[in-house]
Amino acid sequence: MKKRVRDPEQTQRKLVAAAIVLILRQGFHATSVDQICAEAGVTKGSFFHHFANKEALGLAAIAAWAKIGRDAYAPAWHDAVSDPLKRLHRMLEIMSQLTERPEGPCVCIVGMMSQEMALQDETLRDACSGELLDWNQEVAAMLAAAKEKHPPAIDFDPVEVAWFLNSLWQGSMLVGKTRAEPALIRRNLTHARAYLDHLFGTQGRASRKPKSPSRSKS
């Protein structure tokens, strides 16, 4: 009989992946350690070998989810060549594409756990707050770069506009999930792009056709 080779890292990844699946489906409170172990196909002893408690696994799930997000946004966030305004457009396109995944509603563990746990668990609240802040800083940096390259038609604070986009994104996912209407999220992202273009005075510029010369009346 072959001796089973233990792979602690794989076991930990399974537990984190199982926690993500269950939290997205039913929330953090409703997810038990037993359910996580069953979903991951590991024993309860293995769970407590890797995580002191459910809160510790919740922190790992938040961090893992944030990495998934950073990887998804990378084409926009880490493009050091393209025009920063185009990078902002690209980010909104990526966000729109995330709403079309076949796995289920477009939801975010950070947003869900912020709403569920912010008033109950300071450690989880701080972790969620940190990830939201990281997102905001990335977007604010792009907005600041766009503002420097393209003097805006309307002056704005990049950090405040980033928080507006952050709130719009998280709130849209919540409403879209409640209404089972991912198209609502995409419409809101379209409005967000129009808002950005309005700030920079570029709204409708691409579709605007040059006027024909007027003919003088004889």
Domain around 13: 8-51
- Rounded to the nearest 10 degrees, the angle between the axes of helix 8-26 and helix 54-77 is 90
Q: Please give the structure tokens belonging to residue 45.
A: 């002893």
Low-confidence ranges of the chain (pLDDT < 50): 1-3, 5, 206-218
**Global pTM?**
0.87
- The full length of the chain comes to 218
Residue-level pLDDT at 105: 86
CA atoms of 123 and 105, how far apart (whole Å): 27
The count of domains in the chain is: 2
Domain match, 133 and 109 both: yes
Distance CA 103, CA 49 (A): 30
- Spatial distance between the Cα atoms of 57 and 64, rounded to a whole number of angstroms: 10
Instruction: Tell me: do 170 and 130 sit in the same domain.
Output: yes
In a domain, 209, yes or no: no
Helices (H), the chain: 8-26, 33-40, 44-50, 54-77, 84-98, 109-117, 122-149, 158-178, 182-200
Q: Please tell me whether residues 123 and 104 are part of one structural domain.
A: yes
Q: At what angle do helices 33-40 and 54-77 cross, to 10 degrees?
A: 60
Which amino acid is it at 170? Q
Q: Could you tell me the CATH number of the domain that includes residue 23?
A: 1.10.10.60
pLDDT score, position 136: 98
Query: What is the C-alpha to C-alpha distance for residues 217 and 184, in angstroms, rounded to an integer?
Result: 50
Query: What's the pLDDT score for residue 206?
Result: 44
